[in-house]
Structure 1
Amino acid sequence: MGNAPSMLTQYDIEEVQEHCHYLFSQQEIVSLYKRFCQLDRNSKGFISADEFLSIPEFSLNPLSQRLLKMVDGLNFKDFVAFLSAFSPLATAHQKMELIFKVYDLDSKGRVTFNDLMEVLGDLTGSFMLENQREQVLSHVLEEAGYTRDTSLLLDDFIKILGKSSMKMEVEVPVD
């Protein structure tokens, strides 16, 4: 599965299913493979940043530049593993792990106040002034028992944000 073959074997499908913790059915994996091949315009076996940006929903996302760092150059197996966090079968913990990676700007396993400020700035744009973002984040951290000097690990991050309800799902059309 290094270079995009013309079709998946049963073994490939089962291997991808295992890799994504069985969060997608075999039919969904076949559908995802068709979509992957459409995106992989040069049949290189991976999807480039430019190819990801050709997806309107992706390119319009205010966090698309952060997501690009995570998805640029993914082969099919890793593409499905990335998407598995968006499966309706994914646990809240699996979804939070992905969100944590988006916030962990330097990929060191910690989220700082500045990381939170940058992501909140990307999400709110000019609708919220920087001092307003600082006040909101300081208040949220304080209510959870943290300060702005705290570096949040995944468990801390989940403690703070895990209570919010989030809808992170994508529907995979099956032919």
Structure 2
Amino acid sequence: MGKAVSKLSKDDIKQLTDATYFDKRELQQWYKGFLRDCPTGQLSEEEFAKVYKQFFPFGDPTDYCHYLFRVFDLDGSKFVDFREFILALSITTRGTERQKMEWSFKLYDYQRKGHIKYNDLLPVIRATYKMIGPMVELPEDEQTPEQRVNKLFNLLNKNKNDNITLEDFIKLSRLDPNILTSLNSYQGLV
């Protein structure tokens, strides 16, 4: 699927219907839209951020998009092709709760170490706060990114030097309802 073509091949459709929660018709529609927005068949991080800016006009999603883009860019090519795009979209919109948690964990585990430390979580939370801007009213104990990260570590009875594993993250999503809410925010959009 390296080069942009006007249609998905039968092989591509078969592979993608097997790997996603989309049917043939949906895949063809998404592909047509993807090529309309990305005629080269590849989405750069800058283009990715431009799209996100439309959804967050009162904040700056650039930093957040940097971390998010890394989750989409499965092969580390610095571009997202249609396959990478549709795999991420499938999980975030129609995946199981576990799949969504695993996918979200990768957002914070941007160094791909298999665990998250305090200093991994903090820049992503800072980027999130910068993205949402002043439009969201935050709880008293989450007014700053540092407070939010401290709260998450405290919920797990961990200190700043401890690791958060995927299983810890899953446990955390049950302790903090905002995590599950954000994981399900794309559900029903497609």
Alignment match, 2:185: 168
Residue 151 of structure 1 and its aligned partner are, at CA, apart by 0.8
Alignment match, 1:35: 33
For residues 32 and 56 of structure 2, the distance between their equivalents in structure 1, rounded to whole angstroms, comes to: 18
Contact 2:125 2:149 survives alignment (8 Å)? no
2:34 paired with 1:17:
no
**Percent identical:** 29
For residues 153 and 70 of structure 2, the distance between their equivalents in structure 1, rounded to whole angstroms, comes to: 27
2:85 paired with 1:79:
yes
For residues 133 and 12 of structure 1, the distance between their equivalents in structure 2, rounded to whole angstroms, comes to: 42
Alignment match, 2:47: 51
* Alignment TM-score, normalising by the size of structure 1: 0.78
For residues 139 and 10 of structure 1, the distance between their equivalents in structure 2, rounded to whole angstroms, comes to: 50
Alignment match, 1:69: 70
- Counterpart residue type for residue 43 of structure 2: I
Q: Mean alpha-carbon deviation: is it higher for 76-85 or for 52-61?
A: 52-61
2:105 paired with 1:100:
yes
- What secondary structure, in the 3-state scheme, does the structure 2 residue paired with 1:63 have? helix
Contact 2:105 2:166 survives alignment (8 Å)? yes
Deviations 1:106-165 (A, max 9, x none): 1211101222222222233487246534542342222xxx33322112111111124533
Residue 33 of structure 1 and its aligned partner are, at CA, apart by 0.2
Q: 1:133 to 1:37 in 2, by over 3 A?
A: same
For residues 24 and 73 of structure 1, the distance between their equivalents in structure 2, rounded to whole angstroms, comes to: 22
Alignment match, 2:155: 140
Q: 1:11 to 1:24 in 2, by over 3 A?
A: same
Unaligned runs of 5+ in 2: 73-77
Q: 1:37 to 1:130 in 2, by over 3 A?
A: closer
* Alignment TM-score, normalising by the size of structure 2: 0.73
- Counterpart residue type for residue 150 of structure 1: D
Contact 1:46 1:73 survives alignment (8 Å)? yes
